[in-house]
Chain A
Amino acid sequence: MASAANTNLNAVRETMDVLLEISRLLNTGLDMESLSICVRLCEQGINPEALSAVIKELRKASESLKASENCTN
């Protein structure tokens, strides 16, 4: 049981490594944690189109906020 869990964990880790590599290749700008969250969301069947839209929007928002903070500062 423990070994099974272990091999499973290994497989997962390997998968995540591969995905991270692809992500880097494609220059998505996602770090390991974000990527894992995204993968989990995708696994739950969320539409990747929408998810990518959200991520882009969030980035924009945070950057514009930063920009405005800089501006006011």
Chain B
Amino acid sequence: MATLDQKSPNVLLQSLCCRITGKSEAEVAHQFQYAVRVIGSNYAPTIERDEFLVSEKIKKELLKQRREADAALFSELHRKLQTQSVLKHRWSVLYLLLSLSEDPRKPSSRVGNYGALFAQALPRDAHSTPFYCTRPQSLALGYSERGAALSASVGTSGISSLGVYTLNGPTPTPQSLLAGQPPQSAAGGGQSLGSRLAWTLPVSCSPSTLALPNARPLGPPAPSTRVVHPRKDGEVSETALVRDILYVFQGIDGKFIKMSGPDNCYKIDSKVVLCKSLRDTSSRLAELGWLHNKVRKYTDARSLDRAFGLVGQSFCASLHQELKEYYRLLSVLHSQLQVEDDQGMNVCTEGSLTLRRLLVWMYDPKVRLKTLAALVDFCQGRKGGELASAVHSYGKTGDPQMRALVHHILSLVSHPILNFLYRWIYDGELEDTYHEFFVASDPNVKTDRLWHDKYSLRKSMIPTFITMDQARKVLLIGKSINFLHQVCHDRTPPGKITAASKSADTPKDAAELLSDLEGAFQEKIDAAYFDTSKYLLDVLNRNYLLLEHLQAMRRYLLLGQGDFIRHLMDLLKPELARPATTLYQHNLTGILETAVRATNAQFDNAEILKRLDVRLLEVSPGDTGWDVFSLDYHVDGPIATVFTRECMGHYLRVFNFLWRAKRMEYTLTDIWKGQMCNAKLLKTMPELSGVLHQCHILASEMVHFIHQMQYYITFEVLECSWDELWNKVQQAQDLDHIIAAHDVFLDTIISRCLLDSNSRSLLNQLRAIFDQIIEFQSAQDSLYRSALEELTLRLQYEEKKRQRDEEGQWAVTEEQEAEEKRRIQEFQDTIPKMCSQLRILTHFYQVAARFTSQTGHARGFTATRPSHDSLCFFQSIVQQFLVLLMTSSDESLRFLSFRLDFNEHYRFVFQSAGQHRN
């Protein structure tokens, strides 16, 4: 049965067309296409799907026609139909029949009017602008819409001028467009087909109502110029002008209208006799030709230029597309002209081409061409992302038509950029042969500097629709992928890193992404950014122990591991006391290993311990081992990206500072030990008690100072910064955050440890204090040595005296007593020598000079000189240091100064020193 075999609607429609027109399939092709479109446009019926209502309508219709008998008959038939179950859409069939029904008593209104039909075509076009629709829904659709409008205009007017198309076939493309496929439709065929045909339908359904009223206002003036006025001699006919204009539209010189070189515009030959209005109109129309030439010149010049890049090429392609649409319009006009020629001038003058009509029809194309020409002007000399920015800036207009045009061009132009972008953020590959993308890569950079230097943003190439933040993220994503591949040698396929599948990112959705930048695009970038960064951090932490290395830096280079450092210092002390030139690295490395083995450091990761090493700084003459010794930590591979060479340099400086401070503490401990041991022994030499007392005071002052310094360094510098760093590292989202946090950490330490250039004077002062401590140690050592020597000699002398006494001889002879006196004298003479030694060392300091100018004579007093001297000297340096601290901008340094001088001891000394000076 016929109703059951499912032939496709198209086949059915075709046979219907043949049936109704009574012609072969080939002849009805156009009617068929028209039918397909109309049907396709109305998938959703506007009427209610109620069989009862339809049947009631039919009855009413029959009653209206006073055919009560027929109405009854229909009821009967309808009832019969209802008993059958063959039809599923009874209402539909009934509705069809109803709408086709005609009152037999009225004269048939079926006979169409060819002229009216024909005339209808053009005014309709005139209103809705033949090629570029003005309807709001067309905006989103761009090309497909325009293509549809074109085919619709050909479709409606085409019924009349079919012969022309099939015979001359000036534009084969419209016919292929008519075949019913949405040609370049990006947004899904069915919908656009529906929407665009929806508005062609009313016109084609009721041609008689629309056509005539619309044709009237346009029609009369044009023919009147031609028909009413008898032609003057030599006056150019309008048809000839129209023909000329059509050539000019394509940038070809016409017979009368020619390109005038000096004025750079199309001009009508001044010799041609022509009424003013026609002249005006045609020169206004000729502007199109000029605009066309401009755009054409640009595309011709650029489209073969390979260096113009992909973005430029796609810009040219989009311009070409626009031009093609424009040519299509011209060819329709041409064919219209052809029809008129074929049919002779007197047939259907209503629809003929006139300049005025052209003026109206070409209004929209002109606006478009103007936009294009302005774009071309603006984009001159730009390429890549810059070009896209330029196009994008033109999209910010209030004119919806222009915006749609620019938007469409932009979507084509940005297509390659988005292509680059997706390749970059998903594969990490940069396929940017023409340097158009906003990520630049420097091929000269080696892999060790890959993260820092290899990739950069080309600021000028960032399209304006991509924010700086997004661009940075994009850069980071690709960089992370490359870093994983090249530095970490991690070969995980990119698909596993980012959850977002690539299939979702075919650049087809370029236009949508641009229109919806806040939403999907941002989300996509964010997701890729998040996944890639997280993966990278995971790899660094898991495979390359980034955090462990960070902790190792803290423990070894920043002296966090106290037992290890102390033990190392114990072991190294005899070595480092020697001149620097006699040190050998391998000896020191051996000691280092011993220290590691003996302390808690041994439980550390072997991976970390094997990186720990000794480094000897450059030796300058007179250096001891203390000055050149340094711990080192070898970094390579991925973690070297965080611990760069500069960072390691910073670490080295900090280590040296801390090591020095630590050594001071160590030295002071020794001093104190010495004092404790010798205090009892030297009680027998009362002349030394003053000196010793001074020594003790000075030592405890130094101990206080160094303790406070150590407290400051440990708690206010290292621990605080470390805690900050650790928090930041834990929260870091990408490697850049970690690097930044680490840099901040190092900077803070450097500046707080007085190692930066701002606190150079402070550091110098501190160094002087440190030197003073060393100096004091040696002074005290020599003091003790000579004192102990003297002590033993005196003991020996007493012993001898006692022995002689026992033997019954004279306890002392004159000679022996003289010798003893001489020796004591000598001992006391060595004391000023030490004193002068110290003076030479401290000579450069202004305060010391004050003391050297004084001369001490009292013998008992000379012994106290060295320590008193150095005490005052120490105090004055400390004073200067405190003054510098007080004026420092760093709050914690001011607190340190407060702690150092809690009981205002130094202020008092300073004041008394000042009074003394005056």
Contact = CB atoms under 8 A, between A and B. Distances in A.
Interface of A: 8-9, 11-12, 14-15, 18-19, 21-23, 25-31, 33-34, 36-65, 67-68
B97 A57 contact: no
Nearest to B95: A48
A12 B3 CA distance: 8
A44 B9 contact: yes
Contacts of A43: 3, 87-89, 92-93
Interface of B: 1-4, 6-7, 9, 12-13, 15-17, 19-23, 31, 34-35, 38-39, 41-47, 58, 61-62, 70, 73-74, 77-78, 80-81, 84-89, 92-104, 110-114, 117, 159, 201, 204-205
A19 B89 CA distance: 13
B12 A27 contact: no
Contact of B21 (A8, A29, A48, A58): A58
Given A43-B88, A59-B110, A34 B16 contact: yes
Given A37-B19, A38-B93, A40-B7, A52 B100 contact: yes
Contacts of A52: 95-96, 99-100
Nearest to A67: B114
B350 to A, nearest CB: 15
Nearest to A19: B93
A18 B81 contact: yes
Contacts of A38: 16, 93, 96
A13 B6 CA distance: 17
Given A33-B19, A38-B16, A49-B45, A26 B39 contact: no
Given A8-B1, A42-B92, A62-B20, A48 B99 contact: yes
Q: In this complex, which of A12, A38, A51, A65 has the most chain B Cβ atoms within 10 angstroms of its Cβ?
A: A51
Nearest to B30: A61
A15 to B, nearest CB: 5
Contacts of B43: 47
Contact of B17 (A25, A53, A58): A58
Contact of B101 (A21, A28, A46, A58): A28
Nearest to A12: B1
Contact of A44 (B6, B85, B94): B6
6 contacts: A12-B2, A29-B102, A38-B93, A57-B205, A60-B112, A61-B112
Contacts of B201: 50, 53
Contact of A11 (B84, B95, B111): B84
Given A43-B89, A63-B110, A48 B45 contact: yes
B41 A50 contact: yes
A54 B4 CA distance: 23
A61 B21 CA distance: 8
Top 6 A-B pairs, shortest CB-CB distance: A60-B112, A26-B101, A50-B42, A28-B100, A52-B99, A62-B21
Contacts of A68: 114
Nearest to B116: A64
A41 B17 CA distance: 13
A40 B205 contact: no
Contacts of B2: 12, 36, 39-40
A52 B42 CA distance: 12
A27 B103 contact: yes
Contacts of A45: 89, 92
B234 to A, nearest CB: 35
